[in-house]
Structure 1
Amino acid sequence: MLSRSTRCIAATRVFSRWQPHHRSNRALLAVRHCTQTLQDFKKTLTFPAASCTFEALAQDGNALTDQQVVLHGYLGTRRDASKSLTFAELHDMHLRSTVQLVSTPTTGEEGSDKPHQLLRSLENHTPVAVSGTVKARKAPKSSGSKDGARLLVTGVEIKIEQVTPLNVFPQDIIMGDATVFPPEQRHLQIRNDSSIRHALAFRSKAAYTIRDELCKHHDFADIETPLLFKSTPEGAREFLVPTRAPRMAYALPQSPQQYKQILMSSGIPRYMQVAKCFRDEDLRADRQPEFTQIDLEMAFATGEDVMKVIEAVTKRLWNDLLNVKLPESFDRMTYEEAMSKYGSDKPDLRYGSEIRRIEYMLPADLIKKIGPLDFPIVEVMKLTISDDPNKTRKYINAFMDSPEAQPFIQNPEGQPGIFIFDSRKPLQGLQPFGFEAAEQLEEILALHDGDVVIIQARKDTPFSGGSTPLGNLRLAMNKAAVQQGYLPAPSGFAFTWITDFPLFSASSDRASEPGQGGSAGISATHHPFTAPKTPEDVDLLVSDPLAVKADHYDLVVNGVELGGGSRRIHSAAMQEYVMREVLKMSDERMKDFAHLIEVLRAGCPPHAGLALGFDRLVAVMLGKDSVRDVIAFPKSGKGEDMLVKSPTRMTKEQLETYHLQVKS
């Protein structure tokens, strides 16, 4: 369909070619409509500048009484008391404050272009410039009061003298407090939902605070790095950007990792950036194909130096934006400890339910019944739901019947064993454990009536990945208990650093898995630029690479990984050794990193850094479940922008320009 401006041009051209006797009523109407469109737009080019803010009216309204002011904003609810008296709300441009407008006909007012009649003809949500006189009104003593997130100016009102509509709000758009707009109308979602606008304003303040803390108080330089990069195996699938040169393409960066290491060798001692990053991977509630991270790197620094800076930034954010004082220093635990105690490398420490190994105390016949594994590790945890075993049993039945329980029931290593401690039953409901094991469990878990005892078997192998089956079950059961009202929702912020990750992990069996650039059967757990932690770990590179600990650290809060970083390999020879001798990268793959090796060769100092997931950080601070709630224009679960309809199908001409062909 042609736009209105295109139709106007077409109609004008047609009209100019026709002789007078060929003019139709339709063409005349079209030209008149176009003329009116132009006239209406010209009126909006010279609207008066605002002379007063809504905050000033709220704070100093009495001092402004009987003064003329000009306000900009959106019309709100209108109430016509009579033909000669109209009240209307005017919302400020931020949609945060509201003042009452009062309109009566001016002497000799006739026609719809006069202020009173014009106001009565305008739709709610119309953007306007209003000129009028400040008048005192009978109201509570305070001139401003909070109504949710909106400031109500109650001490004064504006007697309208002139109103200038700056656009038309169409009647076919119905906007109200209860209106739910689809993603295709994201602009109306934002305009109609104060929580989204608040999240975006909060996000802006957070970015400013981070920059101020790093650049002003820690001597960082805010430096932009290129978005058109090259394809390198860093661990995730990339977005490629084809060029007009045959077979040549850029790649959008998964992170500014290599550029910031290059800066360390360039005499830039401290770098930071609010960086856009891109990863073509499966989407979850906490992931987007394009996302923002707070990226930083420090020369002549260790991981300890980076963690101190990040703690300072985090404490400043929580103090300034949430008025929450965080501990002087954050807790720490190793990857091994986190996986052992909580079954997760990003544990939510607000929940109890620590995990313990108990296979040593269990009867052999019970271990065989738990699952198909030979000589497994058996772990146990306690969950306190109620002191009434019957209520606990009701909760367990509801959870096990829910979709959330299906992955645990279908676990090929065996489903969990769930028992309810009940003093009215033989061995308190723990009969399958036998007398001795039941007694030991009661003591080490400090069991009381209604407590849930959950056991789970897993393979007796070193920890890998981000969680264990019992760790996932721990989180799922606690969340279900909160949702069903058995447990209070956890509150506060439990920060911890997770350290001592394995430097390498066994490679995936899937040939299509990205980031597996070598033939050694192992890959870098995070990226191949991470340094071993200790001299002993350096020695293990030769004899047992999978036992090497990385000088890597993740910042975790409430079960969310806010970010991670590491000390980097700053020696060209060492970096080449890891890639060639440990990961067994081919000569062809090594060419992708030739620039980095050359940079490190130029006397690069020791350096370390970290990247905070900015979207996740803001979501955690605001208590949002999804990063989509804190992003202005998020992608859908399929990676689509439903408003602008991206991505788009490439045309034949575009494919030819970039020397591309579509395979059938």
Structure 2
Amino acid sequence: MPSSRPLKTRWMCRTLISLFHPVLASKPLKPGEGRAYRLEKEELYSYNTRWLFIICKERQLDGEEEKYFKARDHYYNFWWAEVAEPLTFLEQLHDISCECTLTVEYREKVSIRAMTLVSCCRRAVLRSKAFSAPKSLVWTCRNTSFRSTVQQRSFTKTPRWAESIDEKADNDANGTFWDEYRSSCRYNHSCSTALLIIEQVSLPNSTLDIDSPCPAETVGQRVTVTGFLRNRRQLNAGLGFASISRGSLADSGIQIMLKQKPGEAQVGDTFKRLKENSAVYVTGSLQRKVKKPNQESNGGSDAPSGFVPISDLEIHVEDLKAINSFPSDIVVGKAQKFGPETRHLEIRFDSGLFQRLQFRSKLAQMVRTELKGFSEIETPILFKSTPEGAREFLVPTRTPGYAYALPQSPQQYKQILMASGVSKYFQFAKCFRDEDLRADRQPEFTQIDMEMAWTDGQGVMQTVEGLVKSIHSQLGETPFNNTIANDIFPRITYEEAMSKHGSDKPDLRILDLIHRVEHVLPDNLKGMLTSIENPIIEACKFRFDGDSKKIQKFIRKFMDSADAEQFQQNPDGPPGIFVFDPRRPLEGLQAFGFEGAESLKSLYASLPASPYGLQDPRGAETTTTFDEGDLLLLQARPNTRHSGGSTMLGKLRLAVYKEALSAGLIAPNPDLHYLWITDFPLFTSNAANPSDPGQGGASGFSSTHHPFTAPKTAEDVDLLLTDPLAVTADHYDLVVNGVELGGGSKRIHSSEMQQYIMRNVLKMSEDRMKEFDHLFEALRAGCPPHAGLAIGFDRWVAVLTGRESVRDVIYFPKGKRGEDLLVKSPGVVTEEQREMYGLSALEKKKSIEEIAFGRIGREIP
């Protein structure tokens, strides 16, 4: 017996295959083809044995092997039988779905892990489904007419069994494989199997790029292309057309033409049998399309000199092969919608989604080009838990009591980089925050993270504004409307944004601003609006396209909807709503009284006509006068300094604007209005954000941005001693159309100042202070002044492509409860993992479907 180990593993494979010798003899194979036997899905965990085997590619035995195997002809006589198999056998199979893949290199050592896949052991099959370089596909087929009764044999009566056992350690097989295998073998037991064909197609190299114009000298040559088969049209028995494309359904690709001559049925039969969307390769002659008289070239102006647009060419097919056929149980059509469980199909067949995701890649490339003066540095993903302000995801380790934390942002690492001598840094950083999810939030997201040494916030804002403008100047080639409304980004303080817009991320497309009016209101009207003593009462006036009756109907319907419940239940008092109507007493403002109505009109008449230099398309007098149908909203609030991200009137203003837009009362404005919000308070009371964990100090307030943000002026430094909530931060946000696109600040570069704010102002415990010792040391080593900013890349792509949700611009997003239904994550923690990582007792395990569909998990607002 030969002693080479590869030979032993080869005849092990043959021994398995020999069990099906009666069937193989009746249905031989062509060279290069394989065969498999079905393993029923519903019986994966039972011992009602079903066999699953694959035939390796035919080859000639060398002399030593032939001598060895012919000596055991009663086990291996099928091996050198001549192989032949009609291709029409495939046509009789239906309802085919992929079961698993298998790697078997015949000339090389066949690992027992691969053998496990082709064994009759169900559990071993499940353990061994993933292989790095599959050579063949194993398919299941239900209801096929091909049924055979196969007599099984057992290894227990052959000398091969003992020799095979010696292989398991050398091949890293599962230790229980052979015991399971032997226990599943039975004498004189027959099972019904479905005989399938596996055809291994070697992929040729494409010689033509169908995604760009073709060099003119290539026309007339023989070319090979690969892609998806689409738009098949069989005009008659001898003529057919189709297209080969690489991307989404919107990608037209290149046309192929098949002319079938009498006696040349093989390629034509393949063309008819293949399903659309199958992966194929085509070889043929590249020719120009025959144009009708006076027909112009399709997009020829886009091709440079010496090149021909792909749309003007076609391939006259000589050879057509299926690389991987598209299954019949997947229905594709214009009305077909694929859910998150089949995200791969959604990406491939939703042209809009595919286009947005391709744009995301292009935008990333443009950003990298623009930031050529920066060092792109990847900071670690496995960090540690520090109280920066958001909830973290922990990653347990095998060391009891220790865990990594996924970074909320690379903030501390990039500040350490500034102390390391790196003057300009950026990266497309993955960040993780365990927050309540909404349309513009994901538990993991990407941001363009930047930091600059030897500068302040003004320098960073100037750099980022230049980046954004430069990117927009290059977006003319994209299919999305990306017009910037203002050449210079306005700069609005946080106080002005909250006072005039009721939001720290104002949408400048809403030209109707908020104004204080309590000084012109009669006392009885104030009492109707609120029970607060000495309140601030603010007003916002809208001018919509409609008369007073239409606007009254609109606002009544909105206030009766569920969206308005939060405004009706406001503890500071419900809103006051008035519609200007010249036909009513005091023109609909009778609750103001004569003097109050006149004072209100005078107040609006004194306002500037064009705030922030933006021209009102409705007319310059719109914001300063009252006209029929004007909607006036009043809202009371306590007379305290602003905190948080919005006021109640700010929320109502935005909700009414969006509802009016949906109702067609306002013309949509697709332009992008960028602006900067500056001078945020350095600290925010915990009462304003009760769900925010903050820094965990005992002061009763937390850092508005993060605890590394510097006070803006020397006067603000002095206020740290007396009134921390009055301190202004050198903190700035970039906002576009009501979306907070990015935020940044000048950092504290003094170790003493950083420790003072954490210990004496935020009143963090000494244990928490120690978690920042690495940062204190870096700052202490002569760290230069530095500032930075991070742009939410997902949000920016969503804004530029006109989408409300970032899930529409991420390849594999999480759902509303943080679940990924495609891969079924998060997964349950097994008992073995709990023991390995020292985790405490967990709640009853739930499936990802239970998490996704709301039987557990927190509610999402």
What TM-score results when the alignment is normalised by the length of structure 1? 0.92
Post-superposition Cα deviations, 1:431-457, rounded to whole Å, max 9, x if no partner, equal 111111101212333111110111000
Counterpart-to-counterpart distance in 2, 1:311 and 1:222: 19
Q: Distance in 2 between matches of 1:77 and 1:15?
A: 47
Residue 448 of structure 1 pairs with residue 661 of structure 2: no
Which residue of 413, 430, 433 maps to 2:589?
430
- Report the Cα distance in structure 2 between the residues aligned to 1:558 and 1:184, rounded to whole angstroms: 32
For residue 552 of structure 1, what is the aligned residue in structure 2? 731
Give me the whole-angstrom Cα distance separating, in 2, the residues matched to 1:241 and 1:8: 32
Distance 2:453 2:311 in 1: 56
Mapped to 1, the partners of 2:403 and 2:300 lie a distance apart of 57
Separation (CA, whole Å) in 2 of partners of 1:635 and 1:304: 36
Are the structure 2 counterparts of residues 361 and 94 from structure 1 closer, same or farther at C-alpha, using a change threshold of 3 Å?
Answer: closer
Equivalences for residues 19-418 of structure 1 within 5 A:
33=196, 36-37=197-198, 40-41=199-200, 43=201, 46-55=202-211, 64-93=218-247, 96-106=251-261, 108-110=263-265, 114-135=266-287, 136-139=289-292, 140-144=295-299, 154-214=311-371, 216=372, 219-322=373-476, 326=484, 327-386=486-545, 388-418=547-577
How far apart in 2 are the matches of 1:178 and 1:97? 19
Indicate the residue corresponding to 2:129 in structure 1.
none
**Distance of 2:601 and 2:539 partners within structure 1:** 12
Separation of aligned partners in 2, 1:70 and 1:524: 61
Aligned to 1:166, what secondary structure does the other structure show? strand
- CA drift of 1:109 comes to 2.9
Could you report, residue by residue, the CA deviation over 1:161-213 in whole angstroms, capped at 9, with x for unpaired residues? 10121112110001122210111000000000111111111111111111111
Q: Which residue of 2 aligns with 1:507?
A: 686
Aligned to 1:605: 784
Runs of 4+ in 1 over 6 A off after TM superposition: 18-25, 509-512
Which secondary structure does the structure 2 equivalent of 1:133 belong to? strand
SS of 2:119 mapped into structure 1: helix
1:567 corresponds in structure 2 to 746
CA contact (8 A) 1:54 1:97 kept: no
Q: Offset of 1:405 from its aligned partner?
A: 1.4
Aligned residues: 643
- The alpha-carbon distance between structure 1 residues 419 and 512, as it changes in their structure 2 partners (threshold 3 A), is closer
Please state if 1:482 is matched with 2:658: no
Could you say which residue in structure 1 is the equivalent of 2:119?
10
Structure-2 separation of matches of 1:556 and 1:204: 22
Q: Is the 8 A contact 1:331 1:495 kept in 2?
A: yes
1:59–1:143 CA contact under 8 A, matched in 2: no
Offset of residue 97 of structure 1 = 2.9
Output the CA distance in 1 between the equivalents of 2:462 and 2:508. Answer: 21
**How far is 1:461 from its partner?**
0.8
Structure 1 residue 122, shift from structure 2 partner? 0.5
Show CA shifts across 1:458-483 (max 9, x none): 11110000000100111111111110
Task: Give the drift of 1:67.
Answer: 2.4
Q: Provide Cα deviations, 1:496-532, integer angstroms capped at 9, x if missing partner.
A: 1000000011124998741232111111111111000
Contact 2:576 2:634 in 1 (8 A): yes
Q: Show CA shifts across 1:553-611 (max 9, x none).
A: 00011001100000000000010110111111111111111111111111111110001
The answer to whether the Cα contact below 8 Å between 1:242 and 1:658 also exists between their aligned partners in 2 is yes
C-alpha separation in 2, matches of 1:410 and 1:236:
29
The corresponding residue for 2:670 is 491
2:226 partner SS? strand
Q: CA deviation at 1:400?
A: 1.3
Amino acid at match of 1:451: D
Alpha-carbon shift at residue 118 of structure 1 (Å): 0.8
Question: Matches of 2:643 and 2:222 in 1, distance apart?
Answer: 70
Cα distance in 1 between the residues matched to 2:566 and 2:831: 45
Q: Give the Cα–Cα distance (whole angstroms) in 2 for the partners of residues 511 and 663 of structure 1.
A: 27
Q: Secondary structure at the match of 1:138?
A: coil
Contact 2:483–2:671 (CA under 8 A) maintained in structure 1: no
Please say which of residues 160-169 and 645-654 is displaced more in the overlay: 160-169
Counterpart of 1:341 in structure 2: which amino acid?
K
Deviation at 1:412, TM superposition (A): 1.3
1:104 CA displacement: 3.0
Whole-angstrom CA distance in 2 between matches of 1:390 and 1:509: 39
Task: Verify the 8 A CA contact 2:540 2:634 in the aligned structure 1.
Answer: yes
Partner Cα distance (2:708, 2:410) in 1: 13
Residues of 1 paired with 2:554 and 2:689: CA distance? 39
Aligned with 1:181: secondary structure?
coil
RMSD value over aligned CA atoms? 2.5
Query: Match for 1:605: what amino acid?
Result: P
Equivalence for 1:464? 643
Match of 1:615, SS?
A: helix
Q: Is the 8 A contact 2:483 2:672 kept in 1?
A: no
Instruction: Tell whether the 8 Å contact from 1:99 to 1:152 is kept in structure 2 after alignment.
Output: no
- Give the equivalent residue in structure 2 for 1:535: 714
Partner of 2:580: 421
Distance 2:438 2:833 in 1: 31
SS of the counterpart of 1:187?
helix
Helix, strand or coil: the match of 1:10? coil
Give secondary structure in 2 for the equivalent of 1:295: strand
Judge conservation of contact 2:575–2:635 (CA < 8 Å) in 1: yes
Distance 1:511 1:356 in 2: 28
| Closer/same/farther in 2, CA of residues 553 and 47 from structure 1, 3 Å limit | same
Q: TM-score, length-normalised on structure 2?
A: 0.72
**Bigger RCO of structures 1 and 2 (CA < 8 A, at least 6 apart):** 1
Mapped to 1, the partners of 2:374 and 2:599 lie a distance apart of 55
Distance in 2 separating the partners of 1:203 and 1:579:
39
**Residues in 1 aligned to 2:808 and 2:513: alpha-carbon distance in whole angstroms:** 32
Deviation for aligned residue 1:303:
0.4
Deviates more, 1:513-522 or 1:411-420: 513-522
- Once the two structures are overlaid, the 10-residue window that deviates more, 325-334 or 166-175, is 325-334
Q: Distance between the aligned counterparts of 1:141 and 1:537, measured in 2?
A: 69
How far did residue 533 of structure 1 move?
0.2
Offset at residue 401 of structure 1 (A): 1.9
For residues 285 and 323 of structure 2, what CA distance do their matches in structure 1 show?
Answer: 20
Deviates more, 1:442-451 or 1:338-347: 442-451
Q: Tell me if structure 2 keeps the 8 A contact 1:47–1:164.
A: no
256-265 or 511-520: bigger deviation: 511-520
Query: 2:823 — aligned with what?
Result: 644
Q: Distance in 1 between matches of 2:380 and 2:341?
A: 31
Distance in 1 (CA, whole Å) between partners of 2:310 and 2:415 is 53
Q: State whether residues 230 and 251 of structure 1, in contact with CA within 8 Å, keep that contact through their aligned partners in structure 2.
A: yes
